[in-house]
């Protein structure tokens, strides 16, 4: 792939303590499963909009649109919830859902989706937004239907950073490079 294009997505970052809780839970209940490849700790995030391949020349405008949305949104209170296999039939990832009780995260996602679509950089998803953090990927050909997992502790967290990432595909798995970090509610 040429350097002219970049694979982009926007995600909510997790505070360190929530990340630690997830990693501890994963070490106790998930890492033993040979069919699962754990997400590297630095790659644990909650994806809001996956843009796919865009022109590198568009990155500044995309980042500016994300910053405008972020400035108008407050940080969001969330809580770690149940582990889920996604998609439910023929799962490719193990994720942990997040409870967005006050709906603040859904509002940010919807505002970002609208702004990025308006800029012509994003095609909004048809399926409803499902807040989750991918904690492991299912190895090719592996079956995980019978694997039953305990939920992590219901850890409350404040999501305050939305980041535009570039995903660099590599043999050992994608590497995510932050291009612009936006602190919520700093407008």
Would you tell me which residues interact with ligand 2AM (CB under 6 A)?
A: 9, 47, 50, 93, 134, 167, 174
Residue 103 zone, left/alpha/beta (φ > 0; ψ -120 to 50; rest): left
Nearer to ligand 2AM by C-beta: 33 or 72?
33
| Distance, C-alpha 142 to centroid of its chain | 23
**Residue 149 Cβ vs ligand 2AM, minimum distance, rounded to whole Å:** 17
**Residue 46 Cβ vs ligand 2AM, minimum distance, rounded to whole Å:** 7
Please identify which residue in the block is written with the tokens 């409803």: 128
Nearer to ligand 2AM by C-beta: 41 or 187?
41
Whether the Cβ atoms of residue 98 and residue 46 lie closer than 8 Å to each other: yes
Nearer to ligand 2AM by C-beta: 25 or 185?
25
Q: E-strand spans in the chain?
A: 5-13, 36-38, 45-55, 76-86, 93-99, 132-138, 156-159, 161-168, 175-183
**Residue 102 Cβ vs ligand 2AM, minimum distance, rounded to whole Å:** 22
**Phi/psi of residue 162, each to 5°?**
-110, 130
Nearer to ligand 2AM by C-beta: 46 or 69?
46
DSSP 58: G
**Residue 93 Cβ vs ligand 2AM, minimum distance, rounded to whole Å:** 5
């Amino acid at each position: 792939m040429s350097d002219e294009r970049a694979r982009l997505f926007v995600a909510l970052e997790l505070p360190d303590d929530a990340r630690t809780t997830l990693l501890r839970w994963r070490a106790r209940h998930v890492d033993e499963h040979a069919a699962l490849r754990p997400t590297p700790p630095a790659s644990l995030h909650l994806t809001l909009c996956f843009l796919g391949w865009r022109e590198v020349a568009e990155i500044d405008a995309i980042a500016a649109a994300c910053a405008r949305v972020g400035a108008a949104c407050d940080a969001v209170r969330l809580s770690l919830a149940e582990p889920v296999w996604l998609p439910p039939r023929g799962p490719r990832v193990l994720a942990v859902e997040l409870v967005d009780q006050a709906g603040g995260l859904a509002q940010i996602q919807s505002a970002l989706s609208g702004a990025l679509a308006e800029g012509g950089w994003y095609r909004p998803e048809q399926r409803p937004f499902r807040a989750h953090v991918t904690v492991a990927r299912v190895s090719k050909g592996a079956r995980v239907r019978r694997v039953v997992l305990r939920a992590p502790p219901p850890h409350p967290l404040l999501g305050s950073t939305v980041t535009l990432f570039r995903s660099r595909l590599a043999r050992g798995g994608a590497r995510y490079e932050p291009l612009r970090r936006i602190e919520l509610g700093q407008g």
